[in-house]
Amino acid sequence: MTDPAPRSSPRPAAEPVAVHVLLFSVLRENIGQPALQVDVPHPASVAALLEILEARYPPVASYRSVLRVAVNQAYAEEEAPLTAGDEVALITPVSGG
Amino acid sequence: MTDPAPRSSPRPAAEPVAVHVLLFSVLRENIGQPALQVDVPHPASVAALLEILEARYPPVASYRSVLRVAVNQAYAEEEAPLTAGDEVALITPVSGG
Amino acid sequence: MAARTFLRRTDTTWVQVTPEVLDTAAADAFLRTGQAGGVVLFVGITRRFTHGRETVKLSYDAYVPMAGQEMRRLASEAAQRWPVHRACLLHRVGAVPVAEASVVLGVACAHRAAAFAACRWLIDTLKAQVPIWKQETYADGSTEWVEGQG
Amino acid sequence: MAARTFLRRTDTTWVQVTPEVLDTAAADAFLRTGQAGGVVLFVGITRRFTHGRETVKLSYDAYVPMAGQEMRRLASEAAQRWPVHRACLLHRVGAVPVAEASVVLGVACAHRAAAFAACRWLIDTLKAQVPIWKQETYADGSTEWVEGQG
C-alpha cells in the first residue's frame, strides 16, 4: 500500500486572520492608539488574539483578568472563533451611567 | 357643718363646643354638603363628634370603620379634645397619586 | 370657597397642589445640583383602562391646605430616612385628562439606591396618607370615587 | 472617525447615544401613554464631589454603535421581565459639565411597582454591561478613568 502523494505533502498553511482591534478609555490612553490591526494565526479565536496582544502590549496584560471582548459589537466568549475582517473591541470594566 | 350654698347649687352647664366639619369626595357627595356646623356637648372629643355625626348622617355611619379625622389639618386620635372653632375634616380612604 | 392651591418652595424642597398642568421639566431642573449624582422622578399618569373599564376623565378632590402640609411632612420624613439633597412633591387637583400627570415626585441624592428608595417611599406614603381623592369618569358616563387601601 | 451618535426610535422604545444635552422633558413626553399609570425616570448627574475630591468635568468615552445595541437589548430584556409599555435610554458622551445629565432612563408601566423595578434594573445593568467609560477631571487638574464593578 502507498499513501497517495498529495495527502502526505505538507498542507499549505492557512492564511492568518486579520482583525481590527478597537481600544477605549484607559487602554487607548495607555497604548496610545485608538485601534490596532492584528494578524491571528489559524485557527483564530478570541483567546488566541488576547495571547498575542498580552505579549505585545503590557497594558493589555495588566487588564487581562477583568477584560471582556466584543466581536462585531456583541460580547463574545474566549472560545469564539475569529474571521478575517472582524471588529474586535477590548472592554475594560465599564463605568457609564 | 354646713356646705357653702354656692357649691351645692347646680353648676351652670358648660357651653357646647361648636366645630366646623369639612366633607370631601364620597361623603360630600352622599351628604350633599361640603361642610357642617356641629355643636358637641362638653367635654367634646373627636369620638363624641363622630357619635353625633354617625347618628345624624347614614353615610358617616357606613364609613365609620375606615374613617380618619383631622383636626386643624393634622390627623388626630379619637380621644383628642375639641375646642370651639376647630376645623375638623372627615377623611375617607384616600386615593391620590 | 376653599383654597385650591398650596405652594411652599425653598432651596431644597418644592411642594405644590395646583389645578394647573404639572411641569416635569421644571421639577427636573429644580432637583439638579452638583451634590447629587442621581435623580429619580415618579410621574403618575391618568390611565385610559383600569381592569378593562375605559376612563375618560379623572378628577381629584383634595383637602388642599392639609394635603400640602402632609406633603411637606413627607418631604421632611424622607430627608430623615435617606440622604436627600432635594425633593419635589407636586399634585394636580381638579380634572386631569388621560395621559396627563396627576402627580410628580422627585428626589435627588448622592447615590441612586437612596434616590430610588426615597421616591418609592414618597409615592407609597402619599397614596396612603395625603387627603386627596380620585374620581373616575368612565366611558359609559358613570362616575366612581376610588377608595385607597389606607 | 468612529460614529459619535446612535439613534433608534420606535413608537415604544427610544435609544440614543449623543454628545448633545439630554432632554428630560422630551423623554417624559415620549413615555406618556394612556396605557401607563406610572412613569419612573432616572437622571444621572455629574456630581461635584466624590469621596471628598472635587470634579470639574466628567467626560464619557463610548464604543458608540455597540453601546446603542446593548441599550436596545436592555430595553427588550426589561420588556420581557416587566410589563413595560414604553422605555427610553439616552446616554450622553463627551464632556458633561457638573449638574448636567449623563444618562436619562425612563420606563412607563401600568403600575408603579413594575416601573420602579424596571428602571432600577436598567440603570444597574447599563452600568455593568454597556461599553461606556467615565473619565473624571479633578480640580487639581488630574484625570482618572473610573472603573466599574463589572
Measured between beta carbons, which residues in chain D are less than 8 angstroms from residue A28? 61
User: Chain C within 8 Å of D44 (Cβ-Cβ)?
Assistant: yes
pLDDT band at A34 (very low <50, low <70, confident <90, very high): very high
Q: Is the pLDDT of residue B8 over 80?
A: no
Q: Collect all residues with Cβ–Cβ distance below 8 Å to D141 and sequence separation of at least 6.
A: none
Let me know if domain C6-138 sits in CATH 3.90.1170.40.
yes
In a domain, A97, yes or no: no
Q: Which residue of D has its CA nearest to C24?
A: D25
In a domain, A4, yes or no: no
* D41, HSE (Cβ side, Cα atoms, 13 Å): 33
What number is the average pLDDT over the span A16-39?
A: 97
From the list D4, D22, D122, D1, the residue with the least C-alpha distance to D63 is: D4
Percentage of chain A surpassing pLDDT 70?
Answer: 87
Whether A and D touch, i.e. at least 3 CB pairs below 8 A, reads as yes
Q: How far apart are CA D24 and CA D32, in angstroms?
A: 13
- Across the interface, which of D34, D44, D48 has its CB nearest the CB of C34? D48
Q: Is the pLDDT of residue D54 over 60?
A: yes
Q: What is the pLDDT of residues D61-86, one digit of tens each?
A: 999 999 999 999 999 999 999 999 99
Q: C125 to chain B nearest CA, in Å? A: 10
Q: Strand A87-91 relative to strand A17-22: parallel, antiparallel, unpaired?
A: parallel
Q: B85 to chain C nearest CA, in Å? A: 16
Beta carbons of C130 and B92 less than 8 Å apart: no
Q: Is the pLDDT of residue B95 over 90?
A: yes
CATH number at residue B33: 3.10.20.30
Beta carbons of A25 and D133 less than 8 Å apart: yes
In a domain, B87, yes or no: yes
Residue A1's pLDDT is what?
Answer: 45
Q: C82 to chain B nearest CA, in Å? A: 21
Interface test with A, best of D72, D90, D136, D147 (most A CBs within 10 A): D147
Q: Which residue of C has its CA nearest to D117?
A: C116
Interface test with A, best of D50, D66, D146 (most A CBs within 10 A): D66
Q: Which residue of A has its CA nearest to D45?
A: A97
Beta carbons of B94 and C127 less than 8 Å apart: yes
**Residues of chain C under the 50 pLDDT cut:** 1, 150
Question: Three-state DSSP class for B87?
Answer: strand
8 A C-beta contact, residue C25 and residue D28: yes
Sheet with A35-40, strands from edge to edge, namely A35-40, A17-22, A87-91, A68-71, A74-76
Residue A2's pLDDT is what?
Answer: 47
Over the Cα atoms of chain C, what is R_g?
A: 15
Q: Strand C101-109 relative to strand C38-45: parallel, antiparallel, unpaired?
A: antiparallel
Domain extent at residue B79:
17-91
User: Chain B within 8 Å of C103 (Cβ-Cβ)?
Assistant: yes
Residue D4 carries which DSSP code? -
Number of domains observed in the structure of chain B: 1
Instruction: Please calculate the CA angle C85-C87-C90 and round it to the nearest 5 degrees.
Output: 170
Residue D149's pLDDT is what?
Answer: 67
In a domain, A42, yes or no: yes
Interface test with A, best of D1, D42, D61, D71 (most A CBs within 10 A): D61
Q: What is the pLDDT of residues B27-70, one digit of tens each?
A: 999 999 999 999 999 999 999 999 999 999 999 999 999 999 99
What number is the average pLDDT over the span A44-61?
A: 98
Q: How far apart are CA D86 and CA D67, in angstroms?
A: 20
Chain C residues 76-105 with CB within 8 Å of chain D: 98-101
Chain D residues 121-140 with CB within 8 Å of chain C: 123
A74 vs A59, B35, B89, D89, D124, CA distance in Å? 23, 66, 61, 18, 19
Measured between beta carbons, which residues in chain D are less than 8 angstroms from residue C38? 42-45
What number is the average pLDDT over the span A7-13?
A: 56
pLDDT band at B12 (very low <50, low <70, confident <90, very high): low
Residue B2's pLDDT is what?
Answer: 47
In a domain, A1, yes or no: no
What number is the average pLDDT over the span A41-56?
A: 97
The residues pairing with D7 across neighbouring beta strands, listed in sequence order, are: D16
Q: How far apart are CA C15 and CA C70, in angstroms?
A: 10
pLDDT band at D49 (very low <50, low <70, confident <90, very high): confident
Beta carbons of D133 and A89 less than 8 Å apart: no
Beta carbons of D66 and A89 less than 8 Å apart: yes
